[in-house]
Structures are given as structure tokens and as C-alpha cells.
Amino acid sequence: MVLELNNVTKLYKNGRGAEDISFSLAPGEVLGLLGPNGSGKTTTMKAIAGLIRVNHGEIRVCGTCAITQHEQAMRHASCLIEAPSLYEHITALENMRMAARFYDHVSESRIDEVLNIVGMYHYRNDKVRSYSLGMRQRIGIALALLPETELLILDEPANGLDIEGMVLVRHIITTLAERGCAVLVSSHLAGEIQQCATKVAVMHSSRLHAIRSTEEILAEFGSVEDFFIDTVKPGWRV
């Protein structure tokens, strides 16, 4: 397995967070974390990335404990969590070059490649402060793509994107999965998850309530949206 979570819990003082989360992700799978804002999706992703310390539980990335051997585990993963961290007073290309210094194997040609993938190559020499929200999001996705890792974590990647950008993100995710990359993606949009995920995990009120393959969900419920509603509010569907 590329990613394994066993009974992972991180609760904040207000009682929110993520509680008793368990799931696994194999090469080529796309797991969509679906839930409203505040359901625990970002907390779960931050725990995997080591941005927060969990209360208890186990996280493994490519067999390595991401809690006790964080640096070694994260060599196999790349992330975009919440809004991308960009320096606004410099260009996108300069931001990419700065990020590339953290990796041993990212070349100038790889930078150009990922900027092309996200449709930002022609704007690479513009300063980030001139970018729209969607353009910044595209650069954030490009930063996550820089190291070609076994696991890609994308937190609400469609934020700020127009229709064309959302289609592009779906294409990127499915292409990477076809090449064997495992992708963990979160969204509060059931339609987006349905179109790119091979498995769907319903999160609500800090807990993971159900996890099923998208194929099974569509066969039984007709849509991921109806699966979500049936999971959190049984009998509510009209």
C-alpha cells in the first residue's frame, strides 16, 4: 500500500478535527474525501503531511511510519493543502525554482513541464501578485507536481478554478493514477469527486462514515451525491 491510516485521531480544543480515521490507498487509486467544511478532511491531510501532531493512531507512506520517520516517509509524497504558499513579489518561475531547491532531482526542464501541465507556462514570468485566485491555485498544483512521487495529496484543488481549470485538474489526477500514482483528493463537491475518484470516503462531523468504490456507489445509488446524503441522513432522499 502507498498510504495506510489506522485509527488516526487529531482533535482540537473545540472538539473538532478528525477522529478514528482508517483507510488505505494502493498504487493507481484515487480516494476522494467528501464532506462539508469542518468535517475533518483538511485535518486528516495535515496529519498525513506532518503539519500537525496526531493524538494517536498510525500513518504509513510506502511502508514507512510518517509519524516517527516523517522525513523519510514524505520523500514518497507531495502535497497541496489549503491555499498555496507563494511569494507574491516574485514571479511564478522564481517561486518554482525556490521550491525545486528542496529536491535533489528537479531540473529546469521539469519546472517547465509542470507549468505546461497546469497551463501556466506563458505566465511564468509574471509576478504572483498579478494573478487571479485560479491562477494561484494552478501554480500551487504545479508545486505539488514538481517531485514525481508515489503519493499526491490535494486539498480542495478546484478552489478558485473556472470550468476549464476544474476539467484540467481532473485530467491531471486521472493521468497520474493511470501511471500508478496514488492520489488523495478532498472536496465538498460531490460531482467533482465522482468524476475523478475510484473510491469515495464520506466525512462528516470529524468522522469517516463510509468508504466505497465509485463503481459500487454508482450501481447502488446512481450518484456520489445520493451516496453522501444516504450515509449522513438515511432516508432523507426524495
Residue 235 has pLDDT above 70, yes or no: no
The answer to whether position 169 is within a domain reads yes
pLDDT band at 237 (very low <50, low <70, confident <90, very high): low
The answer to whether position 163 is within a domain reads yes
Specify the residue for cell string 470529524: 206
The pLDDT tens digits of the residues spanning 49-81 come to 999 999 999 999 999 999 999 999 999 999 999
Residues 6+ apart with CB under 8 A from 25: 1, 2, 3, 4, 31, 151, 182, 184
The answer to whether position 129 is within a domain reads no
The answer to whether position 167 is within a domain reads yes
The answer to whether position 32 is within a domain reads yes
Q: Which residue has the higher pLDDT, 83 or 208?
A: 208
Residue 238 has pLDDT above 60, yes or no: no
Domain boundaries, position 215: 3-82+150-232
Specify the pLDDT at position 83: 84
- pTM here is 0.95
The pLDDT tens digits of the residues spanning 159-207 come to 889 999 999 999 999 999 999 999 999 999 999 999 999 999 999 999 9
The answer to whether position 102 is within a domain reads no
- Tally of domains within the chain: 1
Q: What is the DSSP letter of 127?
A: B
CATH of the domain at 175: 3.40.50.300
The answer to whether position 184 is within a domain reads yes
Q: Which three cell numbers stand for residue 54?
A: 496526531
pLDDT band at 15 (very low <50, low <70, confident <90, very high): confident
The answer to whether position 185 is within a domain reads yes
The pLDDT tens digits of the residues spanning 118-165 come to 999 999 999 999 999 999 999 999 999 999 999 999 999 988 899 999
Specify the pLDDT at position 234: 77
